[in-house]
Amino acid sequence: MVRKSAGERPARRRAMRAVGDASMRCCPSRSAMECSLPRGRKAFPVPNRSTRGAMRRPERKPTWTHRRGQTRRLTRMIRTLSEARLTLASVSQMGENWSLKNPYPSKIVDNYILNGEGSRKETRHIAFDLGDSGMTYKVGDALGVIAENPPFIVDEMIALQGWDPEHPVTTHAGDRTLREALKKDFEIHMASSNFVSDLMGRVKPSGLRVSLSFVQRERSGAEPAHLAAGKPREDARSRVETINASPEAVADYLWTRDYVDIMREFDLKYTPEEFLSLAGKVKPRLYSISSSPDAHPGLVELTVGIVRFEYHGRKRGGLCTLYMADEIDTSGAPINVFMSPTKSFVLPDDGDVDIIMVGPGTGIAPFRAFMEQRVHDKSKGRNWLFFGDQSQHTEYYYKEQIEDWMDSGDLYKFTTAWSRDQEEKIYVQHRLKEHGAEVWEWFDKGAYFYICGDKSRMAKDVHRALIEIAMEHGGMSEADATHFIEKTMMKEEKRYLRDVY
C-alpha cells in the first residue's frame, strides 16, 4: 500500500466525511453505521435524551479502515443502482413500453389481395415488420393500427373552409399545424354526432317544414335525388331538426357522410378551433392477428377486408383499411402499431385437446394463426375448421396452406359454406347443424369451440345453432341446452370462446 503524505491526509479525511454524509442521504431512515450494515442487522443503539444520563459510551471516531469499507459498500450500491437502470433501459428497448400512447413505427413488408379474379370484395394479406422493437405476441392477440386521414380529404376540407394549412393549433397530441392535426389527430373521413348536434345552434329557421323521410333511406341502396348533398330543397332548420329527431335518425344521416358533405349542404364556415372542438379524435383499429410468431419470426400478419364505396359522387371507404391498402405500401413508410393482448381467446393449455373453429370471411384470421401454432407445437389434438364466404372461386383464402394442412393430417376436418355458389344461400350455421351429431360428440369429449367474425348476425346464428345441436343430439330441453352452452361451456369451463365485432 502506498501511504499518503501528511498534506494529502486532511483532504482525504474531508472526502471520507463527504462520503459519510452521502450515505446518510441515501438512507435517510437509517444511520450512517446502519447504512453500511446488511438489512436485518442493527448498529449499537444511539442513546436518546432520556437515556443519555443512564447510559454513556465513550465517543469513538470511525477509523480510516471503517471509512474505506463504507466507501466500498457505497460504491457497490451505486453500481447496483446503475445496473438496475441499465436493465430498465434494456427492457424499454425490448419493446415493453410500446402501446397506444407510444406506438411502434412498423413497416409493411407484404401486401397482396387474397381474392380471385371477378370477386366483388377486396381482402388483403398484410405483413408488418417488427424490426428491433422487441414486440412479442401470441396467437389470439390483436394488432392495433393507428391510421391517418387521406391527404385529399384534408386538402379538400382546408380549401372548402378557406383555412391556412400552416395555422398553429393545439390538440390532445400537442402543438401542430392545422394540416398535420387534421391528418393525424382527428377522424374526418366521417362526421361525428357532436357535429350534427351543433347544427341546431348554427342553422336558422325560415318557416318551411320537412318530413322524416327526407333523411331516412336503406343503407344498402342509393340515396334519392332529393337527398343529394349540397342541394337543399326545403328549410335548412327544419331539416336539421328532423335529422336530430332521434339517435337512429342521426346515425342514418351520418351513414356515408363526412364533414365536407355537411359543410356544403348547409353552407357552413368554421374557425379551425371551432371545428376541432367538434371533431372526433382518431381511434385505433384492432385486427385479429392471422400469424403465429413461431411460424413467422419478426413479423405480424393480418387478414383485412378493405372497405371501398362511392357516395355523393365522391370516393369513400374505411379509414384504416384504405390507409393500409393505398396510403402505405411496401416502400418502407412507417405505420404506427401496438399489440393488444387477449386473456381469453387462447388455445387450450393441453395440446391434446380437440378444437372446433368457425371463421367465415376475414374471421379465418385467428384460426390461421391457431393452425400454424398447433402445427409448430406438434399438438396431437384434432382441428376442425368451418369456413365460408360468397364463392369458392373468388374467396377461398389461404387455399394452398389449408390443403397442405389437410394432406398432412394437421387439419382433421375442413367444412365450407359458400353462400352464392348455389341457388339456396348456405352459411356456416347451416353446416354446423348438418354435422350436429359429430359436433356434439366432440363437445362430449371436451373439445373447445371458437368463433370469430360478425357479431350482429353470424355469431348470433351460430350461437343459436349450438343450442339446437344440444337439444337435438344431447337430448336437452331448450332451457337446459341454453344453460349448457351459455353457462357451462362459456362461463364455467371456458371452452366456448368468441372474438366477434
Q: How is domain 355-500 classified at the architecture level of CATH?
A: 3-Layer(aba) Sandwich (3.40)
69 torsion bin: left (phi>0), alpha (psi -120 to 50), beta (else)? alpha
Single-letter amino acid, residue 135: M
- Max mean pLDDT among 59-63, 196-200, 243-247, 467-471 falls in 467-471
Give residue 66's pLDDT band: very low, low, confident or very high (50, 70, 90): low
Overall average pLDDT of the 116-122 stretch: 95
pTM: 0.76
- Cell numbers linked to 52: 443519555
Task: Please check whether the domain covering 151-278 is classified as CATH 3.40.50.2300.
Answer: no
Q: What percent of the chain has pLDDT over 90?
A: 69
- Please state which of the four CATH numbers 3.60.20.10, 1.10.260.40, 2.40.30.10, 3.40.50.800 is assigned to the domain occupying 104-146+284-340: 2.40.30.10
Residue 105 above 70 pLDDT? yes
Q: Are strands 299-305 and 123-129 parallel, antiparallel or unpaired?
A: antiparallel
pLDDT confidence of 331, banded at 50, 70, 90? confident
Region of poorest pLDDT, from 46-50, 152-156, 422-426: 46-50
Q: pLDDT, tens digit, for every residue of 293-321?
A: 999 999 999 999 999 988 878 888 999 99
Inform me whether the pLDDT recorded for 130 exceeds 80.
yes
Average pLDDT over residues 412-418: 98
pLDDT of residue 74: 56
Residue 11 is predicted with a pLDDT of 46
Helices (H), 135-258: 151-161, 178-184, 193-198, 236-243, 247-254
**pLDDT tens readout for residues 392-411:** 999 999 999 999 999 999 99
pLDDT attached to residue 341:
97
- Evaluate if residue 458 carries a pLDDT over 60: yes
The pLDDT of residue 211 is 38
- Tens-place pLDDT, residues 193-217: 999 999 999 988 754 443 334 444 4
- Which is more confident, 71 or 490? 490
Q: Rounded to an integer, what is the distance from CA 209 to the centroid of its chain?
A: 45
CA distance 447 to 354: 5
Sheet containing strand 413-418, edge to edge, reads 413-418, 383-389, 355-358, 448-453, 496-500
Would you kindly state where each structural domain of the chain is located, as residue ranges? 1-42+63-79, 104-146+284-340, 151-278, 355-500
pLDDT number for residue 54: 44
Instruction: Please give the average per-residue pLDDT across 474-494, as a whole number.
Output: 98
pLDDT band at 449 (very low <50, low <70, confident <90, very high): very high
